[in-house]
Amino acid sequence: MDFTREEEAILRGEEGEGKRKAMELVTALGKIYGAEDLIDITSAHLSGASYKTIGDGGLKYLEDMVAGGAMVSVPSTLNPVGMDRGRWAEMHISPEFAEKQLRIIELYGSMGIKTTCSCTPYTGANVPTLGDHVAWAESSALSFVNSYIGARTNREGGPGALAAAILGKTANYGLHLDENRRPTVVIDADIDGSVFSYSLLGQAVGMAIGGGVPYFKGIDPCVEEAKTLSAAMAASGSVALWHAEGVTPEAGNHDISGLEVIHIGKDELEAAYSKLNTVDDVQLIALGCPHLTEKEMHDIATFLKGKRKVRDDVEIWFCTSAEVRERCPDDVRIMEEFGPVLADTCMVVAPIEGTFERTGTNSAKAGNYLPTLCSQKAMCRDFVKLMEVVM
Ligand code: F3S
């Protein structure tokens, strides 16, 4: 790889141990993936924030980074953590878990990272623009900013994104390069246009193609639909970039003639639904994967207003960011009659296993991860149908 003088000095440790370690990691990734040089980034978004997912090993890694003087050099945000900082007892979290989780947040904060702890930072705390090179972890968020905004990031892991944030640079390969942003398959989508149909569409596409860069015809997603589509394809497959004809900023840049066309319609959506639904009753209904936007909070509150939850044996959690919760006090008041509006956490990165065995969601991403990462049997339905379980 070609390095500038400044980068060579960092590699020699002249700017401290934290930066040297970060440079080593970024260059190791660059060599694996054939990067010729490093590229400046404008922001980072980091995963690996829950004590449940990183454990004591991750906590020790962060302690070492902070001790080595690591500081981020570009605006950086953090993914959801394992609990609501103020309401962890309502989530059946132990004091031991809470203590370690709070320490993890503190460590990230001391490196200059905004501890907003949301998987939808692109709605407020961290908003890239078209053509920005960024280093984002969190598969749903990075797919959203690659696709709907037209920023450029690879599918970073937590340590890689942290290293890039410290350097303000990442290795220049993969989705940073024009040639890798070309569509690889055309998806002829036939869906009813509800948010849930976008979740099932993403599930079906991930099941059909695994990876690659799908080019959609026949959809016109708003922000909420694009976020659920991104999340679903990143979980059922490994899609990190998609285009939608007439919608996403780079869709018009590409010639799609000659590409394979896959039709996704009623049969494929039914197959996706069957894969995600393995149980008929639940103990927890968790909404907000990815985190609820202000619009979704308002839609949920509007639906719930004047209704009553009749089942005490089923908990409902609404997951969003602290910023969104703060901005929607009237909606929160209505929603809290049904269950807590939890900030900066979610049903997947919280340690729900041990408390619950069967969980309902309206998100295909959560529908994939609840069984594999949380030992849950999952129900994945449209929001209104989920609410029928408790009303
Ligand atoms: Fe966000 Fe958790 Fe889903 S991090 S995308 S709500 S699994």
Residues 47 and 165 in one domain: yes
The residue nearest atom 3 of ligand 1, judged by CA position, is: 289
| pLDDT at residue 68, as a whole number | 85
Residue 382: which CATH number? 3.30.499.10
Residues 130 and 186 in one domain: no
The residue nearest atom 2 of ligand 1, judged by CA position, is: 346
Residues 268 and 296 in one domain: no
Pocket probe mutation, ligand 1, options 77, 346, 368, 374, max atoms within 8 Å of Cβ: 346
Residues 122 and 246 in one domain: no
Cα(318) to centroid of ligand 1, in Å? Answer: 12
The rounded percent of the chain whose pLDDT value lies above 70 is 100
Residues 70 and 162 in one domain: yes
Residue 349 CA, closest ligand 1 atom number: 2
Pocket probe mutation, ligand 1, options 52, 140, 224, max atoms within 8 Å of Cβ: 140
Residues 189 and 205 in one domain: yes
Cα(58) to centroid of ligand 1, in Å? Answer: 19
Tell me if 291 sits within 8 A of 383, measured CB to CB. Answer: no
State the DSSP string of 130-187: TT-B-EE-SHHHHHHIIIII--B-----HHHHHHHHHHTEEE--GGGSGGGGS--EEE
Cα(223) to centroid of ligand 1, in Å? Answer: 16
Residue range of the domain that includes 113: 5-178
User: Residue 71 pLDDT more than 90?
Assistant: yes
Residues 200 and 216 in one domain: yes
Cα(278) to centroid of ligand 1, in Å? Answer: 20
Q: Is 79 in the pocket of ligand 1 (CB under 6 A)?
A: yes
Total number of domains constituting the chain: 3
Residue 318: band (very low, low, confident or very high) from pLDDT cuts 50, 70, 90: very high
Q: Is 231 in the pocket of ligand 1 (CB under 6 A)?
A: yes
Residues 164 and 199 in one domain: no
Residue 141: band (very low, low, confident or very high) from pLDDT cuts 50, 70, 90: very high
Question: What are the tens digits of pLDDT across the range 190-200?
Answer: 999 999 999 99
Q: Is 366 in the pocket of ligand 1 (CB under 6 A)?
A: yes
How does the average pLDDT of the chain come out, rounded?
97
State the DSSP string of 267-295: HHHHHHHHHH---S--SEEEEEEEEEPHH
Point out the domain boundary residue: 233, 251, 275.
275
Q: Is 289 in the pocket of ligand 1 (CB under 6 A)?
A: yes
Average pLDDT value for residue range 71-96: 98
Cα(368) to centroid of ligand 1, in Å? Answer: 11
Sign of CA dihedral 80, 83, 84, 85: negative
The residue nearest atom 5 of ligand 1, judged by CA position, is: 290
Residues 301 and 311 in one domain: yes
Residues 17 and 85 in one domain: yes
Residues 270 and 292 in one domain: no
Point out the domain boundary residue: 243, 275, 307.
275
Alpha helical stretches, state H, the chain: 5-11, 17-33, 51-67, 95-110, 139-144, 158-167, 195-209, 223-236, 266-276, 294-304, 322-327, 329-335, 364-374, 383-388
Q: Which residue has the higher pLDDT, 94 or 69?
A: 94
Question: What are the tens digits of pLDDT across the range 148-179?
Answer: 999 999 999 999 999 999 999 999 999 999 99
| pLDDT at residue 18, as a whole number | 87
Residues 49 and 156 in one domain: yes
Residue 47 CA, closest ligand 1 atom number: 4
Cα(348) to centroid of ligand 1, in Å? Answer: 6
Point out the domain boundary residue: 207, 240, 275.
275
Question: What are the tens digits of pLDDT across the range 226-282?
Answer: 999 999 999 999 999 999 999 999 999 999 999 999 999 999 999 999 999 999 999
Cα(217) to centroid of ligand 1, in Å? Answer: 27
| pLDDT at residue 387, as a whole number | 97
Average pLDDT value for residue range 275-303: 97
Average pLDDT value for residue range 322-341: 98
Question: What are the tens digits of pLDDT across the range 2-32?
Answer: 999 999 999 999 998 889 999 999 999 999 9
